[in-house]
Amino acid sequence: MTHRREFLQMTTASLFGLSLLPKRRSFKLTISNPIKPLVISTWDFGLQANAAAWEILNNGGRALDAVEAGVRVPEADPNIQTIGLGGLPDRDGHVTLDACIMDEHGNAGSVACLEHIVHAISVARKVMEKTPHVMLAGEGALQFALSQGFQKQNLLTPASEKAWKEWLKKADYHPVINIENQLAPATPNTMPGNSFNHDTIGMLAIDQQGNLSGACSTSGLAFKMHGRVGDSPIVGAGLFVDNEVGAATATGVGEANMRICGTHTVVELMRQGYDPEQACRLALERLVNKDPDYARSIQLAFLAVRKDGTIGAYALQKGFRYAVYTPDVPNELRESKSFY
Ligand code: SD4
């Protein structure tokens, strides 16, 4: 219990604006040999996305341009049923997209529940650059996109419509770990549960100037309720970039991530001196400690990069892969460690 005298001291200290918290040393990362340029992204489709981003980074371009160009690749691919064109719809048959982008100055833009526009990431960038806001949602986001010259189009492909109609027969909502689109029928490029069928693209890059940016884009959880927004467009949940420290992005069940402001937590842990893998693990540990049964039943994964180019990832479940492209690593897939 706080005694009266201590309490009065505390109150007096607060009145004079004195912090009672122990002083932390400020973040000072010694960067002797930074790895740059660099781009990393979630899941197997990250390989193609990284290749597009690398073109820009390798030519001295800005990390922001690289992550936008990278994320546009899976957004435009109708065979990827978790992002952009061909994304699996919500339970009412609407394909609704979430996306977020952040630059080296800490500027952010995002869209939530956006319909009919393939490149949600480019709309998010326009929100960041052309409006006084950070996030636009639903009909307002669509109207803004159209005003900026984006073309309206039907995002529901025959394959995704078929999967939705199949799902409607039982209407049993149950995201499957790592394979949220297991119900999707096989196509020449996508087998149910294979590596093409995964989730959100989250991409982080460092350019030749050493500046960081990040982007993420998704159609969210398949067969979600209409109007559901996940973690991806939420700054500090699906994506966070701090040019002094590092950046992080997420994939998996957004509801779990939003509760811990996951990527902000990861970046703050890196600021405290944890390396990216430790930071991703510690953020997930909050979920694991609070509700182990829930944590065991879902997938959530973080991918992070520190300002010096050190990369790390951690997942709740096995099976989370990410793609890495650096001057020494010509675009390879890595598997992250996991709790379970
Ligand atoms: C969401 N985090 O909407 C996204 C989807 C995802 O693995 O990444 N699924 O919750």
Q: What is the residue range of 242's domain?
A: 31-338
Q: What does the block give as tokens for 111? A: 């869209």
Does residue 191 sit within a domain?
A: yes
Lowest mean pLDDT among 23-27, 61-65, 327-331: 23-27
Tell me which of 216, 234, 253 to substitute to probe ligand 1's pocket, judged by most ligand atoms within 8 Å of the beta carbon.
253
pLDDT given for residue 32 in this prediction: 76
To test ligand 1's pocket by mutation, which of 251, 261, 298 has the most ligand atoms within 8 angstroms of CB? 251
Q: Is residue 26 part of a domain?
A: no
- Measured by CA distance, the residue closest to atom 3 of ligand 1 is 220
User: What's this model's pTM, rounded to 2 decimal places?
Assistant: 0.88
Q: What is the mean pLDDT of residues 216-232?
A: 95
User: Residues lining ligand 1, judged by CB closer than 6 Å?
Assistant: 180, 199-200, 218, 220-221, 230-232, 251-254
Q: How confident is the model at residue 153 (pLDDT cuts 50, 70, 90)?
A: very high
Percent of the chain with pLDDT over 90: 80
In this model, does residue 13 exceed pLDDT 60? no
How many Cβ atoms are within 10 Å of 146's Cβ, its own excluded? 14
User: Which residue has the CA at smallest separation from atom 10 of ligand 1?
Assistant: 254
Atom 5 of ligand 1, nearest CA residue:
220
Give the pLDDT mean for 235-248: 98
Q: Is the dihedral of CA 288, 291, 294, 297 positive or negative?
A: positive
Residue 19 in any domain: the answer is no
C-alpha distances in angstroms, 29 versus 32, 47, 304, 310? 9, 29, 16, 12
3-state SS of the chain? CCCHHHHHHHHHHHHCCCCCCCCCCCCCCCCCCCCCCEEEEECCCHHHHHHHHHHHHHCCCCHHHHHHHHHHHHHHCCCCCCCCCCCCCCCCCCCCEEEEEECCCCCEEEEEEECCCCCHHHHHHHHHHHCCCCEEEHHHHHHHHHHCCCCCCCCCCHHHHHHHHHHHHHCCCCCCCCCCCCCCCCCCCCCCCCHHHCCCEEEEEECCCCCEEEEEEECCCCCCCCCCCCCCCCECCCEEEECCCEEEEEEECHHHHHHHCHHHHHHHHHHCCCCHHHHHHHHHHHHHHHCHHHHHHCCEEEEEEECCCCEEEEECCCCCEEEEECCCCCCEEEECCECC
With respect to residue 173, please indicate whether it lies within any of the assigned structural domains: yes
pLDDT on residue 171:
80
pLDDT at res. 33: 83
| 22 found inside a domain | no
In a domain, 307, yes or no: yes
Domain count of the fold of the chain: 1
Average the pLDDT over 329-338 and give the result. Answer: 97
With cut-offs at 50, 70 and 90, classify the pLDDT of residue 22: low
**Distance from residue 257's CA to the centre of ligand 1 (Å):** 9
Question: For 267-321, how does the pLDDT look when each residue is reduced to its tens digit (9 = 90+)?
Answer: 999 999 999 999 999 999 999 999 999 999 999 999 999 999 999 999 999 999 9
What spacing in Å lies between the alpha carbon of 253 and ligand 1's midpoint? 5
CATH of the domain at 236: 3.60.20.30
For atom 9 of ligand 1, the residue with the nearest CA is: 252
In a domain, 63, yes or no: yes
Q: Which residues make beta-bridge pairs with 42?
A: 322
**Ligand 1 centroid distance, CA of 23 (Å):** 37
Token pair for residue 173? Answer: 């909502």
- Residue to mutate (ligand 1; options 95, 174, 221; most atoms within 8 A of CB): 221
Question: Which of the four pLDDT bands, split at 50, 70 and 90, describes residue 26?
Answer: low
Radius of gyration of the chain (CA): 20
Average pLDDT, the chain: 88
State in Å: Cα 250 to ligand 1 middle.
Answer: 8
CA of 29 to the centre of ligand 1 (A): 32
**pLDDT for position 12:** 44
What are the residues whose beta carbons fall under 8 Å from the beta carbon of 203, sequence distance 6 or more? 39, 40, 41, 42, 46, 49, 50, 53, 67, 70, 71, 214, 215, 216, 249
Residue in 190, 200, 249, 326 annotated catalytic: 200
Indicate whether 245 pLDDT > 50: yes
- For residue 200, indicate whether it is catalytic: yes
Pair 93, 224: CB distance under 8 Å: no
Cβ contact 53:217 at 8 Å: no
Position 14 in a domain: no
pLDDT for residue 3: 47
CA of 2 to the centre of ligand 1 (A): 44
Burial of 85 from C-beta contacts in 10 A (0-12 / 13-18 / 19+) = buried
- pLDDT of residue 35 exceeding 60, the answer is yes
Q: Which residue has the higher pLDDT, 28 or 46?
A: 46
Give the position of tokens 């049993």.
172
- In contact, 99 and 121? CB cutoff 8 Å: yes
Over residues 171-198, the pLDDT tens digits come to 877 665 555 444 333 333 333 333 334 5
